[in-house]
Structure 1
Amino acid sequence: MRGRDEETGEFLGSSRSQQRREALEVLALGEKLVALTPAQLSRLPVPESLIPHIEEARRITAHIAHKRQLAFLAKQMRREEDETLEKIRDALDANSETSRREVATMHRIERWRERLLAEGDEALTELLEEYPQADRQHLRALLRNAREEKLRNKPPRAFREIFQVLRELARTPEDDDAGEDADDAHERDED
């Protein structure tokens, strides 16, 4: 029972409903952590004390036992500081935003590849306007080879290489810097 302050009449703590909502939020966060791959998990600021519980929940496949382990993980997480849990949530949100950006970039590259194969020189001219550093001759040769592969039912080697070339073109210097910063931070964490 949370009680009231006798002088002011205000309640002395959060209600049971609020406590339950907070506990369910922590449980949902625990489920997200268990669903991550070990590589993704290593990029998050998860305390070392929680890692064995997360791995154990990942290992258990029986429904009820898995649910029980998730509840135990949530209990351990509630013992952590609120700031720690907020840092984990923020890092998860940043990761999901990054993955959305990556997916959007992949879709844009795929559309370029389809346009290049369907429209030919017109699409290539537009691509070169957007990415002047692109090698026109190399792209033309790849497009010609990809069309030939399709006609002869050969493996799509040039088709895949077009995608790789476009991905390199779409990569910005900021992407490279962000990747290096993340690698540097990961190396510092390991030391």
Structure 2
Amino acid sequence: MVSRPEYHDPADEDGMEPPSKSSRKRAMHALQDLGQQLVDLSVERLRKVPMPEELFDAVRDAQRFTSHEARRRQMQYIGKLMRNVDPEPIQAQLDVFNGVSAAEVARQHRLEKLRADFIEDEKVLEHIANTWPQADLQHLRTLRRNALKERDNNKPPKSFREIFRVLRDLEAAGADDDTPDDSPEQA
């Protein structure tokens, strides 16, 4: 009697099957899509994304190409380069740019609360001055006065929005030194 060789299942060794061809293709397309998001960024934002120099150069080349076929090939090349890069830090930075990250959402909520507190009580201006000494306090007072007038007259909240922009810019400028705590109770 001839014995038949036993079937050896590679999944028995490590408990996992190798990824299917379809799942590998999906992963490669996801990396290419991430590369496309990089190509769509401005140069200033692109410099803030953590990536190897070779990938940065490939993305900059893709931004220059106008021919559809050249751009398509370059996108495939970017996808190939992305296979050797950890996509998590890149995706995290893109999420920050898109306002999707939890830290970015928390920062926006903190600034919105600070703005609301400032509109309700001008004494919050002292906290703003202590937190960001470079702040133009007279400009903020004017914006607050205009925002209150707009609210009373049921006009569009132009100054209210401008206060948020000013606070956001102040925080961004202050983030280079040390990120301050924005709670007015600690003023």
TM range (shorter): 0.5 to 0.7
TM-score, length of structure 2 as denominator length: 0.55
Distance 1:47 1:181, change over 3 A: farther
TM superposition shift of 1:45: 1.1
Q: In the alignment, which residue of structure 2 is the partner of 1:95?
A: 97
After TM superposition, give the deviation of residue 29 of structure 1 in Å: 0.6
Pair 23,166 (structure 1): closer, same or farther in 2 beyond 3 Å: closer
The correspondence for 1:180, drawn from 170, 177, 182, is: 177
Q: Report deviation, 1:76.
A: 2.1
Quote the Cα distance in structure 1 between the aligned partners of 2:44 and 2:29.
26
Unaligned runs of 5+ in 1: 113-123, 148-158, 183-191
- Structure 2 stretches of 5 or more lacking a match? 1-5, 129-136, 150-157, 180-187
TM-score (ref. length: structure 1): 0.54
CA contact (8 A) 2:49 2:93 kept: yes
Structure (1/2) with the larger helix percentage: 1
Match of 1:64 among 57, 60, 69: 69
Number of residue pairs the alignment of both structures matches:
146
Deviations 1:27-69 (A, max 9, x none): 1010011111111111111101112211111001222322221
* Distance in 2 of aligned mates of 1:137 and 1:42: 32
Gap change, CA 1:35 and 1:12, over 3 Å in 2: same
How much does 1:167 deviate? 4.5
Q: Deviations over 1:87-122 (max 9, x none)?
A: 2122222332379759x68xx6xx98xxxxxxxxxx
1:16 has 2:17 as partner: no
Amino acid of the structure 2 residue aligned with 1:8: D
Which residue does 2:8 correspond to in 1?
A: 7
User: Is contact 1:30–1:74 with CA below 8 Å preserved after alignment?
Assistant: yes
Q: Which string of whole-angstrom CA distances, capped at 9 and with x for unpartnered residues, describes residues 137-166 of structure 1?
A: 98369968xx9xxxxxxxxxxx88x94x66
CA, structure 1 residues 93+141, in 2 after alignment: closer, same or farther (shift >3 Å)? closer
Contact 1:128 1:136 in 2 (8 A): no
- Higher RCO (Cα < 8 Å, 6 or more apart): 2
Q: CA deviation at 1:127?
A: 4.7
Deviates more, 1:19-28 or 1:132-141: 132-141
Distance 1:181 1:35, change over 3 A: farther
